[in-house]
Amino acid sequence: MTTNWLKQLLENVQEGRMDIETAIRDLKHLPFEDMGYARIDHHRHLRQGVTEVIYCDGKTISQIVGIVQKLAMVHDNILATRASSEIATAIQRQDIPCEYHETARIVVIRPQKQVSIGNIAVVTAGTSDIPVAEEAAVTAETLGNRVNRIYDVGVAGIHRLLSECEALFEAHVIVVVAGMEGALASVVGGLVSCPVIGVPTSVGYGASFGGVAALLSMLNSCASGVSVVNIDNGFGAGYQASLINHLAARHQKGNPEA
């Protein structure tokens, strides 16, 4: 790995040959660990504040386990997304503390309780959208955010959504998960003053084209403040919502009147 390089860097700081700011800059460019089939970016958290996430789809179980073992030597709260129960079981057998969120298809390796800040609302149009919504919610919670779930409030029964207006108004950012025609993102976007992240899902009958109809609907939203991630990308929405929520919470802390 990079032990010798890191030792030399620390010695340079200790002996006055390098100032602290230069050392921090260099740490952000530390090399990766080459496993042959994967190059693990151990210092991503220095650059982005979040440990590298393991996307399980397309990887073999042995590859996933190998990556988990390397990351778990250094990091906490490691996310393994799109993980089947078989993958979760294989990780659990490594005697590494972990939690499997079956609906979200996420394994959190070496989970550590964090202070939850701010307010993210995760909203679904229907019950069938919950797996993608849970991927967003669990991602956001693991990254230290307070998450309020508001499920099954689609436009086919709009009064269900309107009964949750106060909860929507209190959110720093809202993740809206919807399939079919994806209209819910526009409706929510027209009600609130915070950013709205639309997540189109592949839920729907044939003409929904596996989520393309919802994607295009959200992209063409006439409500200002609506942005859109890819189809079924709950992780991406949860991660983006976390960035926004942390900025909002930091602003409120610095300015009590904000």
Q: What is the pLDDT of residues 174-207, one digit of tens each?
A: 999 999 999 999 999 999 999 999 999 999 999 9
Last residue within a domain, chosen from 61, 90, 109 = 109
Q: Strands 117-124 and 145-150, how do they pair?
A: parallel
Is residue 19 in some structural domain?
no
CA distances 136 to 3, 210, 223, 241, Å, are 35, 19, 22, 9
Range of the domain at 196: 117-254
Q: Same domain, yes or no, for 121 and 96?
A: no
Give pTM, 2 decimals. 0.85
Predicted confidence (pLDDT) per residue in 44-58, tens digit: 877 787 888 999 999
For the chain, the domain total comes to: 2
126 and 89 in a single domain? The answer is no
Q: Are residues 176 and 249 in the same domain?
A: yes
Domain boundary among 86, 109, 132: 109
Q: Which residues of 85-101 are buried (b: 16+ CB within 10 A; e: fewer)?
A: eebbebbeeeebebebb
The residue ranges of DSSP E strands in the chain, in sequence order, are 33-34, 39-40, 54-55, 78-81, 98-101, 106-109, 117-124, 145-150, 173-178, 196-200, 226-228
Does 248 lie in the same domain as 131?
yes
Does 2 fall in a domain?
A: no
**Alpha helices (H) in 93-233, listed in sequence order:** 130-142, 158-162, 165-170, 184-189, 212-219
Q: How confident is the model at residue 196, as a pLDDT?
A: 98
Q: What is the mean pLDDT of residues 153-166?
A: 94
Q: Estimate to the nearest angstrom the gap between the alpha carbon of 93 and the chain centroid.
A: 25
Contact status, residue 145 vs residue 174, Cβ threshold 8 Å: no
CA dihedral over 16, 20, 25, 29, signed as positive or negative: positive
